[in-house]
Structure 1
Amino acid sequence: MSVMFSEYQNKTVITEHYRYVGKLDNEKYQQEGLKPEAIAFLLVCLLIVAENAVVLLAIWKNKKFHVPMYYLLGNLTLSDLLAGFTYMVNIITSGVHTLNMTPVMYFLREGGVFIMLAASVISLLAIAIERHVTMVRMKPYQGNKQGRMFALIGASWVLSVFLGVLPVLGWNCLGKLGQCSTVLPLYAKSYILFCITIFSAILMSIVVLYIRIFRIVKANTQRLASVPHRKGLYRKSQKYMALLKTVTIVLGVFIACWLPLFILLLMDFFCPTGKCKVLHKADYFLGIAMINSLLNPIIYTLTSKDMRRAIIRLLCRPCLMTEDGQVKKIGMPFLDCSTTKTQTDAASHRLEGLDTTVSSGNLTPSTIKAIYPRISRT
């Protein structure tokens, strides 16, 4: 333990490892200051933080969002917001600043990226499980079971933190240069392969869950379309299918953004040290992964009418709302944020009313049986 502690405080260790994998030949580690692409990435990070902060504030200020489904979306939003901070720290402290770090500081900096990645993946899994339980098992979460949801969120963060701190706890390559990663020269290749395996297994589980849900919902949607007196239920079923597609887009964007970096890390595991020059371009692959945290708020909030209204009221209340809480008539009906409840709105809500109910997971068993009788019989 004393030997390991002394290595963690030795600043020459990072220089030794970076020289071994050939990274010191990069001008990034020879020049002071931030390069133009680094400044661009910083601006993206600021936008990530701002976007996700607005979404979290909208969820916190609206009691109608204080339901399990939005708690899970809020947890995903929180992980994206913290990811923005983590990326900023990573960019500001990279380059020549890396060579002035102690190994323990290096592990904490890079571990933050792994923690946020794990939190995002586990949050996506929790959302998929909630959808599956609600629609397939017909056991929606009730208000008195919100403690279980918070426990699930807490456990996801504990697991994410544990996964991220494994290198600082000893799973690294200090003193074992032949086992070191080229992308992360102080990380053991075995640890990186372990993380990729875990993340891939979780993503495959999510895909399996959504395929199962889609098959059931699609089959019942087609059957309801052929029944004339159930056209209203058919529209509701179509609404739920749209919500499922929205969450699936979130999953697809996550895979598209992170897949290049995953492939690069797999190459890092199989490539002998110094043989694959593309491994020295990892910053650009991480930049692509950053886009995921930028797109998530746009996808899973702006595609929801309730969330869109909440964000518009939050950001534009001084210019759109009167003192008594009414919307100013300024010729912008496309904002669709009227606070009055006309008979037309009520009829529309009755016809298309699954937007909030389904997205929050608060369907009653009777509602599910009416829409999906085939499920209830099974």
Structure 2
Amino acid sequence: MSPPTGNLLQMFHEYQSNAAILEHYNYTGKLKENKYKDGLKPEAIAFLLVCLLIIAENAVVLLAIWKNKKFHLPMYYLLGNLTLSDLLAGFTYMVNIIMSGANTLNITPVLWFLREGGVFIMLAASVISLLAIAIERHVTMVRMKPYQGDKQGRMFALIVASWVLSVLLGILPVLGWNCMGQLDQCSTVLPLYAKSYILFCITVFSAILMSIVVLYVRIFRIVKSNTQRLASVPQRKGLYRKSQKYMALLKTVTIVLGVFIACWLPLFILLLLDFCCPAKRCKVLLKADYFLGIAIFNSLLNPIIYTLTSKDMRRAILRLLCRHCLLTKDGQVKKIGMPFLECSTSRTDAASHRLEGLETTVSSSNLTPSTIKLTVEVC
């Protein structure tokens, strides 16, 4: 038997041995925790309910994007991809909680890797989806071209690439980047993960987040400059309103980015401490579930952010959730003293919706009379 084949068989045997779980958890001191002796704790049940709410919220947003033709644009498809990652995150968190506690000691290492890998995949999908949105917006603003078919291809390429990279990042431990047989290199928070792998993931996520921040700074400068220039020219009021829409959408995505950082930063800091701290030295590492709980709220808050900051999304969700009580027979939204609910489905709005994909970010160098005429007629 060749050495590579022998190593694979040994690794397969270790992945099926429950003794490895007990050995690693005992080494890190986690077996002293009562959570591994009893069933689900009250806080775990509370988190399960939160996960169900996360799934329901994000499912509503995805359904609203799918049913509303106004959202059938690359930008909203990318937001839908982020929403999908949040929905799947809620599901993987729920599975993680159910398989945790006393059940942790009854599973095999391969199931443990799948349990934790799912969380890492969803985290990576969220981060890379935010990067994909930033790249798409930046390319659109810098090129300053109207909506074209090739943008659909770019959008699908970004979505596929985000999931391929996320899955690849999440399965690295089960492919061999773990600490089985090397207890001194093990993480305390995730006892079968190598500290080097965790540091690698934090480095990758931090680099992506920094890239997103840089891209948004550039985008805001471009949009703000165009908005100020167009506001001073009466003939360009249509383009000015279009530029304002870009700014509003960018603010929504920026809020999403800020909330993501706020929710995940405590866990990132804890994992950095995990890398630096020897086993059984830092007691706070045994409380990682609470830090993960804070991170879970990110997937809960995103749909709320979409609803509160985007009037179009708010209208679509309200129509979806309460169509019979909000809509009249002719398709109008009932006026019930709430201005943000007053929207119309008239021919003018329908024409505007069909031309919503005409993304023209203008500067003094690329504005033409035909562009002005078309935009003014639409707006």
Pairing of 1:130-209 with structure 2 (within 5 A): 130-139=136-145, 142-143=148-149, 145-209=151-215
Answering whether residue 210 of structure 2 is matched by residue 217 of structure 1, we say no
Which amino acid in structure 2 is aligned with residue 187 of structure 1?
Y
Structure-2 change in CA distance of 1:50 and 1:195 (3 Å): same
CA shift for structure 1 position 81: 0.2
For residues 326-369 of structure 1, the C-alpha deviation after alignment (integer angstroms, 9 at most, x for no partner) is 44565555422333468xx79xx98xx9xx94xx6x41xxx422
2:74 to 68, 73, 85: 68
**Distance across 2 between alignment mates of 1:135 and 1:249:** 19
**Distance across 2 between alignment mates of 1:228 and 1:42:** 55
Q: What is aligned with 1:31?
A: 38
Q: What is aligned with 1:44?
A: 50
For residues 224-279 of structure 1, the C-alpha deviation after alignment (integer angstroms, 9 at most, x for no partner) is 45556656654543443232222111111111111110010001001111111111
Answering whether residue 359 of structure 2 is matched by residue 373 of structure 1, we say no
Which amino acid in structure 1 is aligned with residue 299 of structure 2?
S
Answer yes or no: is the 8 Å Cα contact 1:80–1:120 preserved in 2: yes
Structure-2 change in CA distance of 1:70 and 1:224 (3 Å): closer
**Distance across 1 between alignment mates of 2:224 and 2:152:** 30
Structure-2 change in CA distance of 1:227 and 1:134 (3 Å): same
Structure-2 change in CA distance of 1:374 and 1:193 (3 Å): farther
Answer yes or no: is the 8 Å Cα contact 1:14–1:103 preserved in 2: yes
Deviates more, 1:303-312 or 1:125-134: 303-312
Q: What is aligned with 1:296?
A: 302
Answer yes or no: is the 8 Å Cα contact 2:141–2:222 preserved in 1: no
CA shift for structure 1 position 146: 1.8
2:25 to 7, 18, 21: 18
How many residue pairs were aligned?
A: 361
CA shift for structure 1 position 63: 2.0
Answer yes or no: is the 8 Å Cα contact 1:136–1:375 preserved in 2: no
Q: What is aligned with 1:287?
A: 293
**Distance across 1 between alignment mates of 2:160 and 2:239:** 37
Structure-2 change in CA distance of 1:325 and 1:266 (3 Å): same
Structure-2 change in CA distance of 1:227 and 1:318 (3 Å): closer
Deviates more, 1:271-280 or 1:138-147: 138-147
Answer yes or no: is the 8 Å Cα contact 2:35–2:101 preserved in 1: yes
**Distance across 1 between alignment mates of 2:155 and 2:241:** 30
Deviates more, 1:295-304 or 1:99-108: 295-304
**Distance across 2 between alignment mates of 1:144 and 1:224:** 27
Structure-2 change in CA distance of 1:168 and 1:375 (3 Å): farther
For residues 120-145 of structure 1, the C-alpha deviation after alignment (integer angstroms, 9 at most, x for no partner) is 11110110011101112224552354
For residues 22-45 of structure 1, the C-alpha deviation after alignment (integer angstroms, 9 at most, x for no partner) is 00111111122x212111111111
Answer yes or no: is the 8 Å Cα contact 1:29–1:95 preserved in 2: yes
Structure-2 change in CA distance of 1:255 and 1:271 (3 Å): same
Deviates more, 1:293-302 or 1:135-144: 135-144
Q: What is aligned with 2:59?
A: 53
Answer yes or no: is the 8 Å Cα contact 1:118–1:160 preserved in 2: yes
Structure-2 change in CA distance of 1:226 and 1:310 (3 Å): closer
Which amino acid in structure 1 is aligned with residue 265 of structure 2?
L
Structure-2 change in CA distance of 1:185 and 1:296 (3 Å): same
For residues 52-105 of structure 1, the C-alpha deviation after alignment (integer angstroms, 9 at most, x for no partner) is 000111111122222211110110000000000011011111111000010000
Deviates more, 1:289-298 or 1:110-119: 289-298
Deviates more, 1:211-220 or 1:274-283: 211-220
Q: What is aligned with 2:12?
A: 5
**Distance across 2 between alignment mates of 1:36 and 1:374:** 62
Answer yes or no: is the 8 Å Cα contact 2:335–2:341 preserved in 1: no
Answering whether residue 100 of structure 2 is matched by residue 94 of structure 1, we say yes
Answering whether residue 330 of structure 2 is matched by residue 337 of structure 1, we say no
**Distance across 2 between alignment mates of 1:118 and 1:209:** 19
3-state SS of paired residue (2:187)? coil
Deviates more, 1:19-28 or 1:332-341: 332-341
CA shift for structure 1 position 373: 2.3
Deviates more, 1:54-63 or 1:174-183: 54-63
Structure-2 change in CA distance of 1:213 and 1:332 (3 Å): closer
Answer yes or no: is the 8 Å Cα contact 2:331–2:344 preserved in 1: no
CA shift for structure 1 position 306: 1.8
**Distance across 2 between alignment mates of 1:53 and 1:375:** 40
Which amino acid in structure 1 is aligned with residue 361 of structure 2?
I
**Distance across 1 between alignment mates of 2:223 and 2:301:** 27
For residues 289-313 of structure 1, the C-alpha deviation after alignment (integer angstroms, 9 at most, x for no partner) is 1111111112134422222121111
CA shift for structure 1 position 321: 2.8
Q: Which runs of 5+ in 1 are unaligned?
A: none
**Distance across 1 between alignment mates of 2:139 and 2:28:** 48
Task: Please report the RMSD computed on the Cα atoms of aligned residues, expressed in angstroms.
Answer: 2.6
Q: Give the % identical residues.
A: 82
